[in-house]
Every structure is written in structure tokens, then in C-alpha cells.
Structure 1
Amino acid sequence: MSALDEVRAMMIFARVVEEGGFSAAARKMGLSRAAISHQIRQLEAKLGVPLLRRSTRTFSLTDAGTRYYDSCRTITLEAEAARKRVEELRDEPVGKISLSCSVHMGNLRIVPILSRFRQTYPGVALDVRLTDEVVDLIGQGIDIAIRSGPLRSSELKSIRLYETRRVIVASQQYVAAFGIPDQPEDLTDHNWVMYSRVPETLRLAQGDQERKIPVSGSVQVDSATARLQFLRDGHGMAVVPFSDVVDDIANGDLMRVLPDWNLPDLSVYAVYSGDVMRSSKVKTLLDFLRAQLADIDESRH
């Protein structure tokens, strides 16, 4: 095994550990599972010690494997950093950008914009991860995460992509069955589609008046897509971003509830580590996202 082959095998070993298996690493690297296994066996033969304890469906690291992984991960990170430094010297954005976003917002807004971005900048490769979990950007090597505020305090940087009103809405089906509130206090008597990221006590304002109204419901979800489906099907009222339901309201399928009372606005951010902004491709993508989202950004109108 040459020195170059050994370095490649070290990077493969690091990926196997990080992905939790041979098959997952193979899919991520575009290799066959057999090729991954062969590289690990050659590496163990070269070192003269086993790195993994294998079983039918899983593996665990030996003591030597645990110690060796740290060096392999360092080499992988250094190689990635070197590639990014070279890419930053080019005028035209090139290279890979990894981006994380919630499933609902990704499908509704971000993925269509990323598709147009790739058509404009074909030299940029995209690794798009749609998940409703809050991911560890640095630990998972993700360049940008799209998150709605307020943001947790951290060392990460952020820019606001757009801002939209949050509104209370109900389907015509629900209103026909249960009526519509006349004042904020009536909201307590209604059924709600509860979303895990929205507080159970709503803060409503009208001029210098403010009300705090506790609400509850028989449906609770952790997905904005699921919330919208239950809302449209008449299972209860819900608090949603106005930009998500503007068409439903316009065509009469959904209606505003207490439109004269305001909820806190929702801001959507791009979150990233400080060193990422040295990359021209990332800055280009962030500028592209802001420009594409300008039409729904109520803070600019």
C-alpha cells in the first residue's frame, strides 16, 4: 500500500466511523460496499492491528481504532480545508456546499431556489439535507443551516433571509362546525393543531393592548407540513406563517381569525460558522437566497 493509498484508506475509515457503517459510507462516497471493506482490510494489514470488531450487522472500534480515528479525522478535515482554500481563489463559484433545512421549508421554498442556483452556477455541487432536527453544523461539516427564529445563543453567525407575519387561521370546514372567535379570550375554547415549535400560550397585540392566551388541541405535530395538512382538513385552528397560507386564504379554503390582533413576526435565518463566509461560493449562495426570497420578506416592503 503506497502512502497515497494509505491516506485514501484513512479517509475511508473516518467516513465509515462517522456514518456508522460500511453501506452508509459507501453511499456517501459513491463506492461499493466491497470496495470500502477491502480498503479497511488493507489498512489493518498495513498497520498490523485490527481497527474494527465486526459482527453481522454492525461494528465497534477497537482501542487502536479509536485512537487511529482521531488522526484519520484530522487528515480528512485538513484535506477538505485545503480544497476549500483553493476554491476560494477562483472568480466563478465552484465546489460543494452542504445545506440543512427543515423538510417543510426546504420543499416549499429552499429547494426550488437551490435548483435555480445550480442552473445559474453549474460549477457548484449541492449536498442538501432536509431534516426537522437541529443539526450540529460544525460536527457534521455543514456549511449553512436555514432556521426560523428566535435563534439559540451560540458561536455561530447568522443573516436574516426574510421575515413574515404569523397569523391564526382555520379552515372553512372548522368554522362551519365550531364558529369563529370574537375576541382573544375565545381562543381558549377552540381546538388547535399544536406545533412543537410554537408556544402553548399565544401573545397577541393590538395597539397598546396585549393578551396572553393559553391554547390546546387534540392534534400535536413536530412537522410544519403535517400541521398544514391537519389545519386544511378541519382538525383545529393553527398559528402559521402568513407566507405559507397566502394562497389558501386568497382562494377561500382558509380564513384569518382575529385579523386585527397581531402575533410576533417570524424571521428566517441562514446560520453558519464564521470561517465559512470566507468562501465566495457560500457568499454567492446567501446573496442568491436573499434576492430570491425578497418578494415574501415583509420587512422590505
Structure 2
Amino acid sequence: MSVLDEVRAMMIFARVVEDGGFSAAARKMGLSRAAVSHQIRQLEAKLGVPLLRRSTRNFSLTDAGARYYDSCRTITLEAEAARKRVEVLRDEPVGKISITSSVHLGTLRIVPILDRFRQTYPGVAIDVHLTDEVVDLIGQGIDIGIRSGPLKSSDLKSFKLYRTHRIIAASPACVARDGLPETPEQLADHDWVMYSRVPETLRLTCNDQEKRIRVSGSVRVDNATARLQFLRGGHGLAVVPLCDVADEIVRGDLIHVLPECKLPDLEVFAVFADGVTRSAKIQSLLEFMRREMRGIDVGRSAG
């Protein structure tokens, strides 16, 4: 009799004692009376002492059975308590959530949202990993990763948080020095702040015509915050999400270059392993993030 079999038999024994008989216990546990009786006999054989005095219609506990029942009852109660603790984690937003994001997006949007989320759900603990590396969520035991699309094919599930336009921007200092491009072709003649996640060949749609323009620059970065800093410093043109610079465009601190030309939109997703969203805490956070990002999602706003 293995340890697991013994624990199962102990729980059956406790049920027999509490329900006052083999038949009643069998009905509640979805077993046959013979199966319940067999489990008790195996348990007695394992222990080497009788636990019950049996008669045709009734039974009573032996002294060993009465003492053993206390331990069996404790195990049963602990198992029930463990189940309820897990059900609470399933039904209520409590427990720990681990989440990873790029440094720029995490600092700009995710961390402020997580701050507000914890104000609403203080029972949730947050473990945040900000890195520009693509993290192995399953290998590192992380619940949610925030990634921009298009997503590579994988076993991970995804939940779209928002979609925003990409634009070409320049600082007034850059325009004063190098001039403002007036045609897509002129973009190739300008210096650029190159970002590792944006292709060197831009795909633009201008007046219903697709243009492919290869660009280059003397500044290259692998971090979106660095890209913005060099853009603001006048080191060249850059492709940036509109939602990151909209206020600066309105103030005139940055200039929207060739606004009639459209770049492919940027989509941002939460990705996670299959089954993670069964947890109420994960579902609550995903919906909370999506609501918080409604204003920058061009799919759900006037933008």
C-alpha cells in the first residue's frame, strides 16, 4: 500500500466513521460499498490492528480505531482547507502575479497601472521584471509578459491590450538643421535614430500608394526610452508610437513628419501560458489593464 493509497484510505475511514456506516460513506464518495470495505481492510492490514468491530448491521470503533480516527479527521480537514484556499485564489483576486515588460513600456504604462490595480486589489502581490530581453515565461515561472506584435508563433496565449498608430517624428532642432521631408523619398536623405525593433526599410502608405523607403542613421538603440531621448535631442527622425508623443506633438515640442503617410499600427499584447487565465487575479488584471488603456487604443477610441 503506497503512501498515497494510505492517505486515501485514511480519508475513507474518516468518512465511514462520520457517516455511521459503509453504505452511507460509499454513496457520498461515489464508491461501491465493497470498495469502501476493501479500503478499510487494506488499512487494517497495513497497520496490523483492527480499527472497527463489525456486526451485520452496525460497527463500533476499537480503541486503536478511535485514536487513529483523530489523525484521519485532521488529514481530511486539512485537505478540505487546502481545496478552499485554492478556490479562493480562483474566485477572488488575491495571491501573487509575476509580470514582465520592456523597460520603456513598463515604466511608462505598466507600472503606473499596476500601482492603481493594487490600490483596488490590495490582496494581490506584484512581482515585476522590466527587461528588453524576450523572457521565457514558462521557464522562469512568470504569469504575464507584455509584448508588441506581430507575435511569433508559440504555445502561449495572447490578450490584446491596445492598438496605436506609429508616426514619424522629428524635433524642431532637427528640422531647423536638416529641413522637413516633403515626400516619402526624401526620408532616405535624412539622419535617423534607428531602433532595433523597427525595420530599416519603412513600409508607408501615402495617398493609397505603398512606398518602401530604406533609412539609416548615426544613432542606433535597442531601448525605446533611449530612442525618445535621442529624438528629442535632435539626433534624427524616428518612428515612434503616437500615444507616446501625442502631447509633445500638440505642444510643438515634436513635429509629425509626413502626417498623410501611414505606417503599420503597433499592437500590444499580454501573453501567458495556457490555463493561467483560470485564476481570478489574472483575469482581473488583464481586464483592468485593458480598461486603463482604452484611451490610447485606436480600435476603441476616436483616435
Q: TM-score, normalised by structure 2?
A: 0.71
Residue 286 of structure 1 aligns with an amino acid whose one-letter code is L
Alignment of 1:187 with 2:177, yes or no, is: no
Alignment of 1:97 with 2:69, yes or no, is: no
Residues 142 and 179 of structure 1, relative CA distance in 2, 3 Å threshold? same
Counterpart position of 1:225: 225
Q: How many residues of Structure 1 are paired with residues of Structure 2 in the alignment?
A: 220
State the Cα distance separating 1:151 from its structure 2 match: 0.6
Task: Tell me the alpha carbon deviations over residues 171-220 of structure 1, each in whole angstroms, 9 at most, x when there is no partner.
Answer: 00000000011100000000000000000000000243010000000000
State the Cα distance separating 1:87 from its structure 2 match: 5.2
Residue 201 of structure 2 aligns with an amino acid whose one-letter code is T
Residue 136 of structure 1 aligns with an amino acid whose one-letter code is D
Counterpart position of 1:109: 109
Distance in 1 (CA, whole Å) between partners of 2:283 and 2:217 is 42
Identity across the alignment (%): 68
Residue 123 of structure 2 aligns with an amino acid whose one-letter code is G
SS of residue in 1 equivalent to 2:225: helix
Alignment of 1:150 with 2:156, yes or no, is: no
Contact 1:87 1:95 in 2 (8 A): no
Distance in 1 (CA, whole Å) between partners of 2:262 and 2:88 is 45
Distance in 2 (CA, whole Å) between partners of 1:166 and 1:227 is 14
Counterpart position of 1:167: 167
Alignment of 1:286 with 2:265, yes or no, is: no
SS of residue in 2 equivalent to 1:300: coil
State the Cα distance separating 1:250 from its structure 2 match: 1.1
Distance in 2 (CA, whole Å) between partners of 1:103 and 1:119 is 22
Distance in 1 (CA, whole Å) between partners of 2:278 and 2:201 is 41
Counterpart position of 2:201: 201
Contact 2:89 2:281 in 1 (8 A): no
- 188-197 or 204-213, which deviates more: 204-213
Distance in 1 (CA, whole Å) between partners of 2:112 and 2:269 is 17
Give the superposed CA RMSD. 1.5
Residues 257 and 245 of structure 1, relative CA distance in 2, 3 Å threshold? same
State the Cα distance separating 1:139 from its structure 2 match: 0.1
Counterpart position of 1:266: 266
Distance in 2 (CA, whole Å) between partners of 1:90 and 1:229 is 43
State the Cα distance separating 1:141 from its structure 2 match: 0.3
Task: Tell me the alpha carbon deviations over residues 135-158 of structure 1, each in whole angstroms, 9 at most, x when there is no partner.
Answer: 000000000000011111101000
State the Cα distance separating 1:91 from its structure 2 match: 3.6
SS of residue in 1 equivalent to 2:114: helix
Counterpart position of 2:14: none
Counterpart position of 1:250: 250
Distance in 1 (CA, whole Å) between partners of 2:222 and 2:172 is 24
Q: Which runs of 5 or more structure 1 residues have no equivalent in the other structure?
A: 1-81
SS of residue in 1 equivalent to 2:158: strand
In the TM superposition, 1:14-93 aligns within 5 A as 86=86, 88-89=88-89, 91-93=91-93
Residues 83 and 140 of structure 1, relative CA distance in 2, 3 Å threshold? farther
Residue 186 of structure 2 aligns with an amino acid whose one-letter code is D
Distance in 2 (CA, whole Å) between partners of 1:266 and 1:245 is 14
Counterpart position of 1:137: 137
Task: Tell me the alpha carbon deviations over residues 5-41 of structure 1, each in whole angstroms, 9 at most, x when there is no partner.
Answer: xxxxxxxxxxxxxxxxxxxxxxxxxxxxxxxxxxxxx
Residue 284 of structure 1 aligns with an amino acid whose one-letter code is S
Counterpart position of 1:123: 123
Task: Tell me the alpha carbon deviations over residues 107-155 of structure 1, each in whole angstroms, 9 at most, x when there is no partner.
Answer: 1011000000001000000000000000000000000000011111101
Distance in 1 (CA, whole Å) between partners of 2:134 and 2:85 is 28
State the Cα distance separating 1:275 from its structure 2 match: 1.3
SS of residue in 1 equivalent to 2:217: strand
Residue 149 of structure 2 aligns with an amino acid whose one-letter code is G
Distance in 2 (CA, whole Å) between partners of 1:204 and 1:105 is 24
Distance in 2 (CA, whole Å) between partners of 1:87 and 1:147 is 30
Residues 90 and 158 of structure 1, relative CA distance in 2, 3 Å threshold? closer
